[in-house]
Chains A and B, each alone.
Chain A
Amino acid sequence: AQSVTQPDIHITVSEGASLELRCNYSYGATPYLFWYVQSPGQGLQLLLKYFSGDTLVQGIKGFEAEFKRSQSSFNLRKPSVHWSDAAEYFCAVAPLSFQKLVFGTGTRLLVSP
């Protein structure tokens, strides 16, 4: 069965510092990969996605993620964090198009002044 691991439950970053959120997946082939962000009490907003091709993908709000097949990882990065980035971040995979999303448990990002 597919699974997604986000090893960091909480991360605190100073405003203006760089950010990397980790995501590892377990699946036989390369699935579709996603990062979503959820602000308190809100739904999920898509940040970026990877289906194929260039392993470095750009998303909204200055986020990017890099797919590494050898490590089964899809880590999310941002060069300079803003206070408004404080939220819960979820990595998700789908084995094929039209398939269900399998989510990690999320990483809560706190931004300190």
Chain B
Amino acid sequence: GAVVSQHPSRVICKSGTSVKIECRSLDFQATTMFWYRQFPKQSLMLMATSNEGSKATYEQGVEKDKFLINHASLTLSTLTVTSAHPEDSSFYICSARDPLGGNTIYFGEGSWLTVV
């Protein structure tokens, strides 16, 4: 299947700082990418949908000013957690839809964020 890569895989940041996570589709162009978060022993929760060149659509209850999403190119989306707090510590996962691959959605490896 298609490959989606995230970076960094693990990051530790201090409370109050911002951290950026990158999501890249390596072998296809993704007009749509998605960001999820997952707390331990829970399922994935969709945070937002981003379309290349336009503003992201956030799910209800997700603060758009805190979780900044940029989808500037067809192969790259970034999630910036601003003014991070310990409760933002979580597993963040991106995914991308392959429009030429039956519209199948492929997921990245995930990024562990720990805010201390």
Whether chain B is bound by chain A comes out as: no
By a beta-carbon cutoff of 8 Å, the part of chain A in contact with chain B is: none
Q: Which B residues are closer than 8 A to A by beta carbons?
A: none
